[in-house]
Chain A
Amino acid sequence: MIAMTWRQHRAQLLIAAAALLTAVTYLLITGAVRASYADRIGLTACLAGKARDCGPLAGAWFSRFGGIPVAFTLLAGLPLLAGLFWGAPLIAREVETGTYRVAWTQSVSRTHWLAVKLSMFLAVIVAAAAALSLSFSYWFHLYSQVSNAGYSDVARLAPPAFDLSGIAPLGTMLFAFGIGTAAGALIRRTVPAMAVTLGGYLGAILPLETLRYTILAPLTTTGRFTNSSFPLPNGAYSLSTGYATASGRPVPFSYLFQVCGHQLSGNQVGIHLSCLVAHGFRSTEVYQPASRYWPLQGIYAGSLALAGVALIGVAIWWTARRVS
């Protein structure tokens, strides 16, 4: 049955392996470039020492490489493909093409047949999620250190880093695969099952991208602007920022421009930090601290993984009892 599963799905798996290998190679190479530059300018040593102010070095490093490219949001969409191209056709295609009548009338029960196929895909999902998570974490490790030292707000708690690191890729992949498999078993047609998978996955994930940060009540901090930094703790992910005058009256961000704005080149406007400090403006940050990274990963990815496993259970139950 393992040989049969491999013969049936090897094309799908090899294409996926090639795509994943490309992504991993890209992350490792560009990650190595970022790391070697940080070594060369002394940023790595500075961050390790913690003695000096690494701000200028971090600034130089950032100005060379920028933040996380927008294209990485696409990487965060990879798990969806496991639902569309592995899950949805798994049962639907057999029923649609009529080959279930061959597959399930050999000497292997359909539960066994399904168990072997699901086990193989689950093993592949664990391996793919680990490869993606580990290679991204390598790529991201300097961003993480710079953010934890307070020199940037590119935190690993923020999307898309949160989606690409830790166990989030595993959770989202299991969830997508579960929706696809269950939709394929219930609908029994590949293309409609893929459509339902796409809708179901995005319909759940997009609201969760925001909701996941409120599962644990966010913290709030208020402070005056100082000459050195904003009052957001190191490595934290800011959910929203509010502003107030010295007397505590809340004001919109545009008010700060009215008071402290000045014309830059062209039509750009800047703000004098010293002016904000002088007026005694305060800012209020609603945020999740860096220490909440693993609890939030556990809750978010864990519940998605559980939902995925439950959906796979529905697919098994339905196929064993109801299909055809």
Chain B
Amino acid sequence: MNRPDEATPAIETIGLGRRYRWRWALRECSLNLPAGHVIGLVGPNGAGKTTLLHILTGLLEPTTGRARVLGGAPRDLHALRRIGFVAQDKPLYGWFTVNDMLRMGGWLNPSWDRASALAHLAGLDIPLDQRCGSLSGGQRAQVALAVALGKRPDLLLLDEPVANLDPLARRQFMQVLLEHVAATGMTVVLSSHLLADLERAWDYLVLLSASRVQLSATTEELLHQHRVVAGPPEKVQAIEAAHTVVQSSITDRQAHLLIRTGGLVHDPDWTARPASLEEIVLAYMSQPLAGASPALTLAGTAAKGSR
């Protein structure tokens, strides 16, 4: 298998948008996601995650903008052959046996690796002659993952892979996935409406909210660029002048701000501490419109600075 050129972004979108009759499901989405990462795609339900993934796999045509995946157009077969996709709810042919699903992988993919798909399922004790319609939620997820991995993709897109799984099945799914990632170095995009569901498996985060990209950065960048500061309320304006305030909670006596720093906070009246990833994500998700336009700038700089 030819590995993606490190210089070629795994996913590149410019002004991507998709409108359903009345409503924009995704708007002005510009992303430049480097290869070799496990990318968390997080956002509340209806934020446009599925729409984005469907555009990237060629299932949907964008209304505006364009997308490139592994350097090709999404519907281009060269790109499609290198993408593994597990759709939301893990659709399988209900009357196919598990073995039929694996045979389907072989029928429809020139790069199919049956042995690895079989090894994957054998380790999980899923009988090959069982009908997919009668599998448990966890087993469905594993079979869908086996089909996607058997394609030996360079880019694996997973839409809400662990939603509706019990904690044990979720842990098992993520474990199997991460073993594969470690062994192959493929790029993975995991979407979820809950940050916690992704169990810190990601090292790159894209936050979608209200149909727009709020954040796109590596873990280090996020931690490096955000601070929680506390200080006198009358000096908030001075902070706002030097930094971007993502979220603020101001009382008569004290102001708590989550800021994206434009440098160090020098004023001794303010105390600063690092923000946790949960705090950062929550801050952007709870105030999507406040963060919207600066986040786009961050998305741009992050992409440039990440490689």
Contact = CB atoms under 8 A, between A and B. Distances in A.
Interface of A: 1, 3-4, 7-8, 11, 97-109, 321, 324
A109 B87 contact: no
A98 B159 CA distance: 13
Nearest to A101: B87
A105 B80 contact: yes
B98 to A, nearest CB: 13
Given A101-B85, A105-B80, 7 more contacts: A7-B103, A99-B93, A105-B87, A106-B108, A106-B151, A107-B151, A321-B61
A226 B144 CA distance: 80
A98 B107 contact: no
Contacts, number: 66
Contacts of A97: 91, 94
A102 B58 contact: no
Nearest to A4: B107
Contact of A3 (B57, B61, B80, B107): B107
B258 interface: no
B104 interface: yes
Nearest to B95: A11
Nearest to B77: A109
A7 B103 CA distance: 10
A109 B104 contact: no
Interface in B74-97: 75, 77, 80-81, 83, 85, 87, 89, 91-96
Nearest to A113: B108
Interface residues of B, number: 32
Nearest to B157: A105
Interface in B109-131: 109-111
Contacts of A98: 87, 89, 91
Contact of A105 (B85, B93, B104): B85
A53 B40 CA distance: 91
Contacts of B80: 105-107, 109
Contacts of B100: 7
A107 B110 contact: yes
A259 B93 CA distance: 73
Contacts of A102: 87, 91-93, 144, 147
A100 B54 CA distance: 11
Given A7-B100, A100-B59, A324-B60, A105 B91 contact: no
Contacts of A8: 93
Contacts of B60: 324
B151 to A, nearest CB: 7
B91 A104 contact: no
Nearest to B80: A107
A53 B151 CA distance: 76
Interface in B257-291: none
A109 B87 CA distance: 17
